[in-house]
Structure 1
Amino acid sequence: MSPRSNGGFLITIFAATMTRTEKPSLEVCLSPALLHLYDTKGAIVVIIDIFRATSTITAALHNGAESVIPVASVSDCIAIGASLPNSLTAGERDGKVAEGLQHGNSPLEYPTSFVSGKTLVLTTTNGTRLLHMVQDAAEIVIGSFLNLSVLCEYLLKQDKNILLGCASWKDKFNLEDTLFAGAVVHRLQHAFEVNCDAARGARHLYNCSGGDHFIEFLKDSSHYRRLSAFGLERDMEYCVTADLHPVVPRLQGDRIVAI
């Protein structure tokens, strides 16, 4: 091979490499305790708390809630709710309705007839906490099985790095959030650079689940067992039903709205 042809060969390889690396990245953070290891600047961060915060947010907004205000503490939730007309205070601690709040963290509590036109002020053990930890993201959106397809379609169109952030359970790995992250990776992997073992592991978990009947797969999870003790099996079945609420909730200022 002549120097000239060799140079052309190297340019071709370089161009091909550049084409591959031009894809935006797709990563998974398995716990809020690991968030500091990821660069969220300019990225889209997807908050995932399947049982049940992000499922409740998605359902409430699709059912006509004007917005959801995520807050970190019960006291802030009560104070903000008291200052806002036509608002509902809601949330949980350790799976139960938090003392002083009007309503819980169940997507089934917020049908259109109840929530339409209202503002939901929400605090939860894991999901709203993670949301407030994210800094410098291009945007923060909400992910759940309830909006899986429309969320993936939205992410594909943005052409930005994506971090799927699992709320987990008090900083400990959980199955349901990771399973959802795996479902997203499975759908988007062709369009993104997936150089992240957490993302690969989440995808493998999704593949092991069979890609259907998620509730049967999750019945062996600690969170399913914890919430079952409160009689919330119906809640959890609802939360893992795909595409019931095709909206993309996005944080705008201090509120989450449907886009």
Structure 2
Amino acid sequence: MKTIETCVSPDLLDLHELTNKTVIVVDIFRASSTMVTALSNGVKTIVPVRDLDQCMTYKEQGWLIAGERNGKQADGFDLGNSPLAYLNQQFAEKNVAMTTTNGTRAISLAKEQAAEVLIGSFLNLKATVNYLQNSSNDVLVLCAGWKGKFNIEDSLYAGALSQALGWKHDCDATLAMESLYGQVGADLNGFLQKASHAKRLQNHDLEKDINFCLDTDQYNAVVYLSEEGLKLKS
């Protein structure tokens, strides 16, 4: 039987074996939710970039550039890190280079050893579950966290995914998060209003982003990291 485990912070990734595994990078508030939304609304490719200056160089190639640090849009960038900016096919057929505080760092770490990297969010949970059920790989959920610290929303996603898959796991983090999701999953929004990163976003008047990111199964989309960048599985 296939297995699922959870890494609750990128700073702990070296404690996990990635070889031959599908790694699902999740940054619910907001990078992974934004990536899924953008690609589901017609964006062709998203290149995740760790560094602001490197991301800025894509503008010279005619790409849109999206930059976020500490919850705010970075100076000189076309976009920040809001999924709402991509609705209604607003940037269909465009290419986007994106750098965020936590999510793009997690992706860069995962791609070094993983057999495959997917992007997870509540917005495409069911589609991701269906894809994984038909894959032969074990799964590691890599939670982007906040600057190396544990955060609850990313880890709760791991619990939701594990519950939906019904796979074996010998991972205490997965066990804990699956149990917690069983208790609070019916009112994710209410529970996560107390989360530290939700409070950061609330301080920037981003409540609409929070609500959107917790809207489960809005997109039938599987997002994966190709050699060109993030794309939708066809």
Question: TM-score, with normalisation over the residues of structure 1?
Answer: 0.87
One-letter identity of the residue aligned with 2:192: L
1:29 Cα deviation after fit: 0.4
Could you tell me whether the CA contact under 8 Å between 1:70 and 1:254 is conserved in 2? no
- Residues paired across the two proteins, number: 232
What pairs up with 1:1-259 in 2 under 5 angstroms? 23-83=1-61, 85=62, 87-134=63-110, 135-189=112-166, 192-209=167-184, 211-259=185-233
One-letter identity of the residue aligned with 2:136: D
| 1:152-177 Cα distance to aligned partner (Å, 9 max, x none) | 11011102110001000011110110
- Structure number, greater radius of gyration: 1
Aligned to 2:90, the other structure's residue is in SS state: helix
Identity, in percent, stands at 39
Task: Measure the CA separation in 2 of the matches of 1:257 and 1:43.
Answer: 19
Unpaired runs of 5+ in structure 2? none
One-letter identity of the residue aligned with 1:207: G
Task: Measure the CA separation in 1 of the matches of 2:154 and 2:197.
Answer: 10
Could you tell me whether the CA contact under 8 Å between 1:145 and 1:243 is conserved in 2? yes
Task: Measure the CA separation in 2 of the matches of 1:76 and 1:112.
Answer: 29
Could you tell me whether the CA contact under 8 Å between 2:55 and 2:65 is conserved in 1? yes
Task: Measure the CA separation in 1 of the matches of 2:38 and 2:27.
Answer: 15
Aligned to 2:66, the other structure's residue is in SS state: strand
Task: Measure the CA separation in 2 of the matches of 1:220 and 1:230.
Answer: 15
Q: Aligned Cα RMSD in Å?
A: 1.0
Aligned to 1:253, the other structure's residue is in SS state: coil
Match in the other structure for 1:7: none
Could you tell me whether the CA contact under 8 Å between 2:58 and 2:64 is conserved in 1? no
Task: Measure the CA separation in 2 of the matches of 1:200 and 1:42.
Answer: 22
Task: Measure the CA separation in 1 of the matches of 2:108 and 2:59.
Answer: 18
Task: Measure the CA separation in 2 of the matches of 1:244 and 1:120.
Answer: 21
Unpaired runs of 5+ in structure 1? 1-22
One-letter identity of the residue aligned with 2:92: S
Question: TM-score, with normalisation over the residues of structure 2?
Answer: 0.97
Structure 1 stretches of at least 4 aligned residues deviating more than 3 Å after TM superposition: none
Task: Measure the CA separation in 2 of the matches of 1:39 and 1:53.
Answer: 24
One-letter identity of the residue aligned with 1:61: L
